[in-house]
Amino acid sequence: MGSLEEGARQAIEVCLGLRRGERVTIITDRATLEMGKALERVSGVSGGDVSLFVLEDFGKRPLRGVPREVEVSIRSGDISVLAIQKIGNELDTLRKPLRIMATTHGRYANMPGVTRKVFETGMSTDHRRVWEFSKRVYGILKDSRKIRVKSGNGTDLTLTFSPGIRWVNSSGDMRSPGHPGTNLPGAEVYTCPQNSNGVYVVDVEFGDYLTEKYGFVRRSPARLEISEGRVVSVECDDRALKDELVRYMKTDRNANGVSEFALGTNPFLRDYIGVFIQDEKVPGVHIALGNPYPEATGATYSSKVHLDCITSKPIVWVDGKRVMESGRFLI
């Protein structure tokens, strides 16, 4: 296990490639202030000109927009990092506009839901080796047209892909100006599917604020029936979770659409820790419903929500070739 300071150093010095004299904006909150302060310290020691903002200083959460002072700092800076806890549905009101703004005006790292354990584990791994492995996976996926995912839990999903929609290597390497930004810890390769049909069983955890609300769902997995790219039915023994999923997928007209297919590509991660931003990087499969990150993938629609869903121990075939067995890469 690494340390809080090492995780912060990897984020600032390695992944974001801070150069002396660059202006750094750290956006954090009270629950995550320990991590925000670590990022601030490392940025300062590395020669950055740092501004730190605590979201609760601008009003009651969830916030309905990006605070003006934060916006000014982002627009005049070189690097921005968002390290906060997910409270309510700030995805559409805060996190999405902040991400678009920050990637337009500099280099950006997104860390919603991050914890000290994430800094000590996923953030403390050898990111350069993670980048190399992610590049290999990207090379396999970038021209694929058909992928099948199957698991002993009942998952059996077939997805097709359009050459007009980009695959994204979200490895965590954000050193280059104009980088579209990514979550940290990095390490996934994803795109927006053209179509998908079958059954997908979520038996690890959901993303967005459902991670914190329901945790692991191994005892009450959710079975999603998918037809022509949309979830058409949900089965789950946990009635509260089922009802919330149904409501969530009615947020807007695209909220129940399968908008993302991704493989986690950090070979150093073995176990799920209950923090989604890291768990989706464990070698395996996750899909998402709602927003397809059109600014990154080139998809032609959007949504106010984005719900990631992890299934366990998948077998994956890419254009007929098996590349993963029980969540273990065969490449």
Q: What CATH number corresponds to the domain at position 45?
A: 3.40.1830.10
Same domain, 113 and 131: no
Last residue of a domain, one of 76, 100, 123: 123
Same domain, 189 and 92: no
Would you state the pLDDT for residue 166? 97
Same domain, 306 and 240: yes
CB neighbour list of residue 219: distance below 8 Å, 6 or more residues apart: none
Could you give the CA distance from residue 207 to residue 248 in angstroms, rounded to a whole number? 12
Same domain, 142 and 285: yes
* Amino acid letter for position 319: D
Would you state the pLDDT for residue 115? 96
Q: Minimal CA–CA distance to 115: which of 18, 204, 207, 212?
A: 212
Same domain, 175 and 81: no
Last residue of a domain, one of 98, 123, 148: 123
Could you give the CA distance from residue 212 to residue 128 in angstroms, rounded to a whole number? 30
Q: Read out DSSP for 212-256?
A: HHH---SSS-EEEEEETTEEEEEEES-HHHHHHHHHHTTSSTTTT
Tens-place pLDDT, residues 153-194? 999 999 999 999 999 999 999 998 666 667 899 999 999 999
Could you give the CA distance from residue 119 to residue 25 in angstroms, rounded to a whole number? 19
Same domain, 176 and 280: yes
Same domain, 11 and 103: yes
Would you state the pLDDT for residue 181? 64
Q: What is the four-CA torsion angle of 309, 310, 315, 320, rounded to 10 degrees?
A: 30
pTM higher than 0.95: no
Same domain, 182 and 224: yes
Contact 243, 234 (CB under 8 A): no
Contact 206, 309 (CB under 8 A): yes
Same domain, 173 and 228: yes
Helices (H), the chain: 4-9, 33-45, 68-75, 96-105, 116-120, 127-141, 210-214, 239-248, 276-279, 294-297
Same domain, 184 and 92: no
Structure-block tokens of residue 38: 């670590």
Print pLDDT tens along the chain (331 aa): 799 999 999 999 999 999 999 999 999 999 999 999 999 999 999 999 999 999 999 999 999 999 999 999 999 999 999 999 988 778 889 998 999 999 999 999 999 999 999 999 999 999 999 999 999 999 999 999 999 999 999 999 999 999 999 999 999 999 986 666 678 999 999 999 999 999 999 999 999 999 989 999 999 999 999 999 999 999 999 999 999 999 999 999 999 999 999 999 999 998 999 999 999 999 999 999 999 999 899 999 999 999 999 999 999 999 999 999 999 999 9
Domain that holds residue 150: 126-329
Same domain, 187 and 66: no
Last residue of a domain, one of 123, 156, 182: 123
The total number of structural domains in the chain stands at 2
Cis peptide before 62 (omega within 30 of 0): yes
Same domain, 135 and 67: no
Would you state the pLDDT for residue 179? 65
Query: Would you put residue 168 in left (φ > 0), alpha (ψ -120 to 50) or beta?
Result: beta
Would you state the pLDDT for residue 224? 98
Would you state the pLDDT for residue 178? 64
